[in-house]
Chains A and B, each alone.
Chain A
Amino acid sequence: MDLNIFIENFAALFEETDAQLFNAQTRFKEIDEWSSLILLSVIAMIKVEYDVKIKGDEITSSQTVEDLYNIVKSRVQ
């Protein structure tokens, strides 16, 4: 599993925020565009791209994109 591809997939969920601004250390909940709908699209992206189930509160208790990456990586078959 590739961190850079994960960051690209994550950035693609945002419509108004420049994808260039995302990196492993991005504190995603501090982005203006972050919303409950984007949270659902993170769940959806992780399900479709990695076939991994992640709970909403695991996302809200994570801080950076890399935190999410690490959760997903630990569950990828």
Chain B
Amino acid sequence: MKAFIKGISYYLPELVLTNEELVKDFPEWSVEKVAGKIGIKQRHVVAKEECASDLAVKAAEKLIEEYHIDRQSVDFVLLCTQSPDYFLPTTACLVQERLKLPTSVGALDFNLGCSGFVYGLSLAKGLVLGGIAQNILLITAETYSKHLHPKDKGNRTIFGDAATATLVSTEGFAEILNFSLGTDGRGAENLIIKSGAARLPEKQNDLVYDNSNNPVSSDYLFMNGSEIFNFTLESVPALVADTLVKNDLQQSEINLFVFHQANKYMLDFLRKILKIPEERFYYFMETVGNTVSSTVPIALKEAQAQERLKGPVMIAGFGVGYSWAGAVLKFKE
């Protein structure tokens, strides 16, 4: 038995935040600098009443329509989010009802960030190969914008909201080959929203501004950019090497590398230290930003539209946790 990707669709919320609008809040920031170095010109953000499940349902409806999927054939929903509608119930259960999927489906959420899509593929492949399910709806849906302080220039520049829906099945256009996974919880403090869950249920109201005048608070998303950068420099080259070993492939045999689209600056640097030629390295963030667990499937969708997915393609996600995952997808030559 083999597992394949049969379809990918994505949905972006309607509200668009352009660099020109961001610069109004941060007059010291230059539009050219943001666009040139970070590689992002605009990002989509949810409206106040819009939640992860709303984006998830819209992405899944697009997938169902685009690939003519029979709702009755879906037998599992895997939903990756770190911004669920509720603590409980599970967002995937809400999505089952709204998509009118059969009540015989299995459904669960899993909480991961930038590594989430690749992890989701590993779970979906396991379900297929274990004979447990045959048509798995893998959804990524994230609304980080809800967790960002209005004065957080760096993160408001980078992050965008989005959802993606992927069908993993017993046949399709890309075979899901082998994975390399990794975790290092020592990095937990470097990308975190501290308050609001069980450990610190109350808002802490502890906002301070650091040396660079960036807001730091337990009540908003905190990212230690330099530590995340160091983590990436150490983990991603090792992840790429291990993913190649697990798939018995040489780096030169990979036709396209589709990494988590963190930001252009970081990807350029990774590409250089990995010595990957630019034509075999995919970028897609200019109009959407870093959409966390949705960056890899969005990039795959765009690369497919440009007919750039042929033969072995490596995908890799890395970030919050720390958590990282790589895999090779085999497309038709």
- Seen from chain A, the residues whose Cβ lies within 8 Å of a Cβ on chain B are 35-37, 39-40, 43-44, 47-48, 53, 55-57, 59-60
Contacts and interface: CB of A to CB of B under 8 A. Distances in A.
Contacts of A53: 230, 234
Contact of A44 (B38, B154, B225, B233): B233
Q: Interface of chain B, helix or strand or loop or mixed?
A: helix
Interface residues of B, number: 19
A60 B269 CA distance: 21
A43 B226 contact: yes
A47 B37 CA distance: 19
B233 A56 contact: no
Given A43-B226, A43-B230, A57-B226, 15 more contacts: A35-B212, A36-B226, A40-B226, A43-B229, A44-B233, A44-B269, A47-B273, A48-B272, A48-B273, A55-B226, A55-B227, A55-B230, A56-B225, A59-B226, A60-B211
A35 B38 CA distance: 13
Contact of B225 (A40, A47, A48): A40
Most B CB contacts (10 A, CB to CB) among A36, A39, A40, A53 go to A40
A72 to B, nearest CB: 14
Contacts of A36: 154, 212, 214, 225-226
A56 B224 contact: yes
Contact of B226 (A35, A39, A48): A39
A35 B29 CA distance: 10
Nearest to B225: A36
Nearest to A58: B226
Interface of B: 37-38, 154, 211-212, 214, 224-227, 229-230, 233-234, 265-266, 269, 272-273
28 contacts: A35-B212, A36-B212, A36-B214, A36-B225, A37-B37, A37-B38, A37-B265, A39-B226, A40-B225, A40-B226, A43-B229, A43-B233, A44-B229, A44-B233, A44-B269, A47-B233, A48-B272, A48-B273, A53-B230, A55-B226, A55-B227, A55-B230, A56-B224, A56-B225, A56-B226, A56-B227, A56-B230, A59-B226
A55 B214 CA distance: 18
A50 to B, nearest CB: 13
A40 B264 CA distance: 13
A57 B212 CA distance: 12
A28 B227 CA distance: 20
A53 B231 CA distance: 10
A43 B229 CA distance: 8
Nearest to B37: A37
B273 A40 contact: no
A47 B233 CA distance: 9
Nearest to B153: A36
A48 B275 CA distance: 12
Contacts of A59: 226
Contacts of B38: 37
Contacts of B225: 36, 39-40, 56
Contacts of B224: 56
A59 B37 CA distance: 21
Contacts of A40: 225-226, 229, 265-266
A36 B38 CA distance: 12
B226 to A, nearest CB: 2
B198 to A, nearest CB: 29
A72 B234 CA distance: 17
Nearest to B226: A56
A62 to B, nearest CB: 12
A16 to B, nearest CB: 10
Nearest to B234: A53
